[in-house]
Structure 1
Amino acid sequence: MTDTVISLKDIGLSLDGNAGRVDILGGITLDVARGETVGLVGPSGSGKSSLLMLLGGLEQATAGSLFVLNHNLTDMNEDALARFRRDHMGIVFQSFHLIPTMTALENVATPLELAGHADAFDRARAELEAVGLGARCDHFPSQMSGGEQQRVALARAAAPRPEIFLADEPTGNLDGATGEAIMDLLMGLRDRHGSTLVLVTHAPELAARCDRVIRLRDGSLDLTTDEVSA
Structure 2
Amino acid sequence: MPDPVIALKDVTLSLRGNAGMVEILHGITLDVAKGETLGLIGPSGSGKSSLLMVMGGLENASSGSVTALGEDLTAMDEDQLARFRRDHMGVVFQSFNLIPTMTALENVATPLELAGHRDAFDRAHAELAAMGLAHRADHYPAQMSGGEQQRVALARAAAPRPHLLLADEPTGNLDGANGDAIMDMLFGLRDRHGATLVLVTHSSALAHRCDRVIRLTDGRIDTTHADARAAE
**Which residue of the partner structure matches residue 31 of structure 2?**
31
Q: Deviation per CA, 1:82-115, whole angstroms, max 9, x where unpaired?
A: 0000000000000011111111101100111111
The residue identity in structure 2 corresponding to 1:204 is S
Q: Distance in 2 between matches of 1:142 and 1:14?
A: 36
Any conservation in 1 of the 2:6–2:32 contact (CA below 8 Å)? yes
The residue identity in structure 1 corresponding to 2:123 is R
Any conservation in 1 of the 2:207–2:229 contact (CA below 8 Å)? no
**Which residue of the partner structure matches residue 11 of structure 2?**
11
**Which residue of the partner structure matches residue 51 of structure 2?**
51
Any conservation in 2 of the 1:124–1:156 contact (CA below 8 Å)? yes
**Which residue of the partner structure matches residue 170 of structure 2?**
170
Q: Deviation per CA, 1:147-206, whole angstroms, max 9, x where unpaired?
A: 000000000000000000000000000001110100100110111000000000001111
The list of structure 1 runs, each at least 4 consecutive aligned residues, that deviate by more than 6 angstroms after superposition, is none
Q: CA deviation at 1:229?
A: 6.7
**Which residue of the partner structure matches residue 106 of structure 2?**
106
**Which residue of the partner structure matches residue 212 of structure 2?**
212
Q: Distance in 1 between matches of 2:70 and 2:2?
A: 14
Instruction: Tell me the TM-score normalised to structure 2 length.
Output: 0.97
Instruction: Tell me the TM-score normalised to structure 1 length.
Output: 0.98
Q: CA deviation at 1:43?
A: 0.2
Structure 2 stretches lacking a partner, 5+ long: none
Any conservation in 2 of the 1:88–1:163 contact (CA below 8 Å)? yes
Structure 1 stretches lacking a partner, 5+ long: none
State the secondary structure of the residue aligned to 2:215.
Answer: strand
**Which residue of the partner structure matches residue 79 of structure 2?**
79
- The sequence identity of aligned pairs, in percent, is 75
Q: Distance in 1 between matches of 2:18 and 2:42?
A: 26
Cα RMSD after superposing both structures: 1.1
Q: Distance in 2 between matches of 1:73 and 1:109?
A: 26
Q: Deviation per CA, 1:104-154, whole angstroms, max 9, x where unpaired?
A: 101100111111110000000000001000111111111111000000000
**Which residue of the partner structure matches residue 124 of structure 1?**
124
Q: CA deviation at 1:19?
A: 1.3
**Which residue of the partner structure matches residue 184 of structure 1?**
184
The residue identity in structure 2 corresponding to 1:131 is M
**Which residue of the partner structure matches residue 70 of structure 2?**
70
Q: Distance in 1 between matches of 2:149 and 2:18?
A: 36
Number of matched pairs: 230
